Amino acid sequence: MAEGEAEVPAETGGGGGEPPTRTLEPGVAPIKAQYLTTKEQFHEFLEAPAGQVKADGETESGGATGNGVAEPEAKRARLEDGQSGGGQTEDRKEVEEEEGAAGEPREHKKAQKRARGQHKNRPHLKPADHDSNRLCPSLVQGLSAMCLFGDRCRYLHDVAAYLEQKPPDLGSRCPVIETLGRCPYGITCRFAGAHLAGGASPWGPLPPPVRNGLDKALQRQLRKHQVRFQRSEEALRRLSQSPLSGVLPEPFDGDTVGPDAGVAPGSPLQTCGPLTDEDVVKLRACEKKRLDFHGKLYLAPLTTCGNLPFRRICKRFGADVTCGEMAVCTNLLQGQTSEWALLKRHPCEDIFGVQLEGAFPDTMTKCAELLNRTIDVDFVDINVGCPIDLVYKKGGGCALMNRTAKFQQIVRGMNEVLDVPLTVKIRTGVQERVNLAHRLLPELRDWGAAMVTVHGRSREQRYTKCADWEYIRECVQAASPMPLFGNGDILSYEDAERAMQTGVAGFMVGRGALLKPWLFTELRERRHWDISSSERLDMLRDFTRFGLEHWGSDTRGVEVTRRFLLEWLSFLCRYIPVGLLDRLPQKINERPPYYLGRDHLETLMASPRADDWVRISEMLLGPVPPNFVFLPKHKANAYK
């Protein structure tokens, strides 16, 4: 047996005698032998139409899923015949090795680069419901037959023609009516038939609306640069007059960032000497709001996947703190609708923050002032962990860890104009072997950060190595008494308990929540939840309901909901059901080998293929439009 390989007894399904052993490759999740299969058999199984499988007369196992898909046990057994204990992962491994499995040597630097983070060459497709076949908004509600744009209007005005090409309804209950009491999508709603039954919400009083929308008048002012930032100007003036400015002139060149820039390894962090907060920043008249983060379950900010409907799912499962997806401060200052959408807060999000990214004290401070005035949040977070080139090369995200003067001005400036706590998310450092966080933490505490989260990996590492919780332990000491949150690789209550032993005030969960949002329940109840595939489908159904409510119940809203569902499914497929594991708990960096689940849906949900995620989306949102293609934004199945 090669070094690092473990021998695991394979379950035989109750037969007597010595259980045979099988060899587990490092980095491969230990799934009970009777569920293992090969890539070919896995896909062959999923490609067989459910009806045809049933016609074989084989017995069903695991019960119906509620979607008419159930798997015959005998078929699975037949497929298992061809398997060998260790070889079944080969094909999957081939793909994933490129993407970077934790703990495995990588042979090709190029492959490693390809694997990083995002699918950059995704197809950009026209939305399914593009303008030429959308009904003119003036007609949607039947409020007015007059369209102000006349012949120049790009939308359809022929209601009969519109209805002829409109895809069929998706259900008999409109999710928007059920929540809002009325549906603004009128006849374009994909549940329009339900409107005829009456517009009243069957659930009694309506919940409070989603907050933090962008007011049109403010948007116009922002676009015309008519918004004044008095507090920011004062704060920035004070900062520029203080010995801070000029002490650390840091021209930034993203390509030359290294240990010598800003904080040099081994040398003390450059600071502004004996200056105190009071010297630099006049104390504010009003009391800053406080927030006690201790022991709270924090759902990490997650671009694309951490959208509002997903956060609602996590709240239901027990998350305490939620945070919007990273928003770019300059886009917010320009009043960009899509960027402001990232700030929206659902009423169930009772401890909610937004996360900002930016490279300069003036834009970050002004943005903080703008948000302080216009939206309802409990805290504002700065993303100083963002590794992506686009952000890093401009001096934002992780680059700020090496630009301490700018970093300081950003934190002090924002802190001065905010009435809510300012938190910061950082990494261990930029380079793999050069830890910076412990040096920055005392500074961050002095600059006024209310809490800092340390993601236990460097920018260079991305997800290739396990998070370094021993280093996070060191960081706790360095940050004290400021509360420190740890972040990285938490997928079970055991992981969480180990994390808490480092002395952190709490931890943040990222991919763990994407793989299994019920993790928050597991953490609260200290248990492993062997959730069934039909319960998982119910969760996805709730997500689509929330999605249609949020993005719209017309065809465009349906397709936006589908895209976000598919992005999430690209992570969900990595979850391995508890009952299938030889050893608990599942580890986030272990690849699942190909396996057949306890029913057809469980198998389908384990598929790493986008086509199968599309099939799941079709169970919930109807057929995809013609020529539909999906490639996930994030390389979720990189075992990183």
Ligand X SMILES: Cc1cc2nc3c(=O)[nH]c(=O)nc-3n(C[C@H](O)[C@H](O)[C@H](O)COP(=O)(O)O)c2cc1C
Burial 450-461 (b: 16+ CB within 10 A, else e): bbbbbbbbbbbb
Smallest gap from Cβ 357 to ligand X, in A, equals: 8
Instruction: Confirm if 540 and 513 have CB atoms less than 8 A apart.
Output: no
Residue type, 576: I
Considering only residues 342-381, where is the footprint of ligand X by CB under 6 A? 355
Q: Which of 325, 378, 554, 590 lies at the binding interface for ligand X (CB under 6 A)?
A: 325
Looking at 634, 635, 637, 639, which residue binds ligand X (CB under 6 A)?
A: 634
Q: Which stretch binds ligand X (CB under 6 A): 4-12, 330-338, 408-416, 510-518?
A: 510-518
Interface with ligand X, residue 506, by CB under 6 A: no
The stretch among 76-84, 163-171, 178-186, 295-303 that binds ligand X (CB under 6 A) is 295-303
Burial of 62 (0-12, 13-18, 19+ CB in 10 A): buried
Closest distance to ligand X from the beta carbon of 424 (Å):
10
Instruction: Tell me which of 301, 557, 597, 632 binds ligand X, using CB under 6 A.
Output: 301
The reply on whether position 302 binds ligand X by CB under 6 A is: yes
For residues 32 and 462, which CB has a smaller minimum distance to ligand X in the complex?
A: 462
Measured from the CB atom, is 325 or 416 closer to ligand X? 325
Residue 458 makes contact with ligand X by CB under 6 A: no
Binders of ligand X among residues 482 to 501 (CB under 6 A) are 487-490
User: From CA 199, how far away is CA 582, in angstroms rounded?
Assistant: 51
d(CA 254, CA 272): 24
Residues 383, 356 contacting (CB under 8 angstroms): yes
Interacting residues of 390 by C-beta distance below 8 A, sequence separation 6+: none
Residue pair 413/236 in contact (Cβ under 8 Å)? The answer is yes
State the number of binding residues for ligand X (CB under 6 A).
22
By the rule CB under 6 A, 425 interacts with ligand X: yes
- Residue length of the chain: 640
Examine residue 326 and tell whether it contacts ligand X (CB under 6 A): yes
What CA–CA distances, in Å, run from 401 to 354, 385, 471, 479?
20, 9, 16, 15
Residue 512 binds ligand X, judged by CB under 6 A: yes
Name the residue whose CB lies closest to ligand X: 510
* Smallest gap from residue 91 Cβ to ligand X (A): 24
Pull the structure tokens for residue 87.
């070889």
Task: Supply the minimum distance, in Å, between the C-beta of residue 325 and ligand X.
Answer: 5
Task: Select from 65, 188, 212, 303 the one that contacts ligand X (CB under 6 A).
Answer: 303
Do 328 and 352 touch, CB atoms closer than 8 A? no
Q: Mapping DSSP to helix (H, G, I), strand (E, B) and coil, where does residue 371 land?
A: helix
* CA 331 to chain CA mean position, Å: 20
- CB atoms inside a 10 Å sphere around CB 367: 25
From 8, 79, 509, 604, residue interacting with ligand X (rule: CB under 6 A): 509
Q: Which is nearer to ligand X, 300 or 621 (CB)?
A: 300
CA distance 427 to 385: 5
Question: Is 147 annotated in the active site?
Answer: no
Min separation Cβ 339 and ligand X, Å: 13
What is the rounded distance in angstroms from the CA atom of residue 301 to the CA atom of residue 368?
Answer: 18
Give whichever of 326 and 596 is closer to ligand X, judged by the CB atom.
326
Catalytic hit among 323, 386, 398, 573: 386
* Residue 454 binds to ligand X (criterion: CB under 6 A): no
How far is residue 68's CA from residue 51's CA, in Å, rounded to a whole number?
9
Whole-number minimum distance, CB 401 to ligand X, in Å? 13
Q: How far apart are CA 42 and CA 296, in angstroms?
A: 40
- Does 385 bind ligand X (CB under 6 A)? Our answer is yes
* H/E element, 356: strand 351-357
CB of 531 to ligand X, least distance (A): 19
Binding residues (CB under 6 A) for ligand X: these are 300-303, 305, 325-326, 355, 383, 385, 425, 455, 467, 487-490, 509-512, 634
Active site residues: 386
